[in-house]
Amino acid sequence: MKATSSYPKIVTDETIRERVSHGEESYPFAFYLEDIWEFDFHSIDWHWHPELEFVYIEKGTAIVYAGNNKYCLTPGSAIFINKQIIHRFESTESTIIPNIVFSPFLLAAEESLVYQKYMKPILSSSIDCQIFAPNVPWHKEIIDILNRVFLLQKQENSCELQTIQLLLNLWQILYHNIKSIATEFSNKADIQDQARLQIMMQYIHENYQNNISLEELTQIISLSKSSILNIFNEYVHMSPIDYVIHYKLKQAAQLLDTTENTITAIALNTGFSNVGYFCRKFKEIFKLTPSQYRKSKHESTFTL
């Protein structure tokens, strides 16, 4: 029996790789039944993992950033996110997303014919993700299989063999329908840009308490200002300085929730020299003043 898992927070390392282990070494597969709305700031923040991910939208609307694209997914649709692709989920309401995350080696060993012939062309391609809409016949086939997989995970008895059989069927459909657009080798420009983005994000996360400038990032990554702006706009859909401010505010929100430090101290601690500016930006992003946010979090904890 595999328990339905959920955790209302995304935890990553300094490279934005997700720290959670999905399944076990002997069976690298995990099923989650999650509500994006319950995560910190109503979003499953930027992260990547070496596993594959299939997400179904059961209720609500999910805003998904994957690779350099943004999607608005409605109930009944689904998405496949390829391995090592940076992605993020957002919602503006309760949004239920049953999903599975698993290693490609669950289906075939890396040196096997099945992996090399049927899996590697997609895994090593420039395909970041694939959307599935219920009105497209082969998309609906995959969505139906996903829902059968989800139902299996809720059973009392072990269902590993049936799960793998269904996933192999799913992959066969996926392979035969998108192999024509999958190339044998990855788009090197995309890989380089994502690697550069990870380096810049890591630097921001480690130095957010300081005043990080665009010029500083050009020295870290050895790219022009325009190239850095293009990378952030393409993958994160905001400027690097906006990302710095958002990250500072996110850290401030965590301090408001977990400490009794004054708002002034928290503002200074997260790199804001002007408390008034901090309060204005905080309300702009979270729709609450810092004191209102702290009160709401404490009331929520008390209710629980």
Q: Cα–Cα–Cα angle for 155, 74, 87, nearest 5°?
A: 80
Give the per-residue pLDDT at 181: 56
Decide if 56 contacts 150 (C-beta within 8 A). Answer: yes
78-81: strand order across its sheet = 29-35, 96-102, 52-56, 78-81, 129-132
* CB contact set of 172 (below 8 Å; sequence gap of 6+): 118
Decide if 28 contacts 22 (C-beta within 8 A). Answer: yes
Give the per-residue pLDDT at 3: 44
Give the per-residue pLDDT at 188: 54
87-90: strand order across its sheet = 43-47, 87-90, 62-66, 69-73
**HEC assignment per residue over the chain:** CCCCECCCCCCECCCCEECCCCCECCECEEEEEEEHHHCHHHEEEEEECCCEEEEECCECCEEEEECCEEEEECCCCEEEECCCCCEEEECCCCCEEEEEEECHHHCCCCCCHHHHHHHHHHHCCCCCEEEECCCCHHHHHHHHHHHHHHHHHCCCCCCHHHHHHHHHHHHHHHHHHHHHHCCCCCCHHHHHHHHHHHHHHHHHHHHCCCCCCHHHHHHHHCCCHHHHHHHHHHHCCCCHHHHHHHHHHHHHHHHHHHCCCCHHHHHHHCCCCCHHHHHHHHHHHHCCCHHHHHHHHHHHHHHC
Give the per-residue pLDDT at 185: 42
Decide if 75 contacts 125 (C-beta within 8 A). Answer: no
Give the per-residue pLDDT at 69: 84
Could you give all domains of the chain from N- to C-terminal order, each with its CATH number? 29-181 (2.60.120.810), 188-303 (1.10.10.60)
Decide if 47 contacts 16 (C-beta within 8 A). Answer: yes
Quick: pLDDT tens for 65-87: 997 788 999 999 999 999 989 99
Regions of the chain with pLDDT less than 50? 1-3, 184-186, 302, 304
Decide if 52 contacts 44 (C-beta within 8 A). Answer: no
Quick: pLDDT tens for 23-63: 999 999 999 999 999 988 889 999 999 999 999 999 999 99
Instruction: Name the nearest CA neighbour of 39 among 95, 80, 103, 84.
Output: 95
Give the per-residue pLDDT at 192: 80
Give the per-residue pLDDT at 186: 46
Phi, psi of 90 (to 5 degrees): -135, 160
Give the per-residue pLDDT at 114: 95
Give the per-residue pLDDT at 304: 46
Decide if 58 contacts 98 (C-beta within 8 A). Answer: yes
Query: Residue 43: beta bridge partners?
Result: 90
Six token digits for residue 303: 């209710």
Report the length, in residues, of the chain.
304
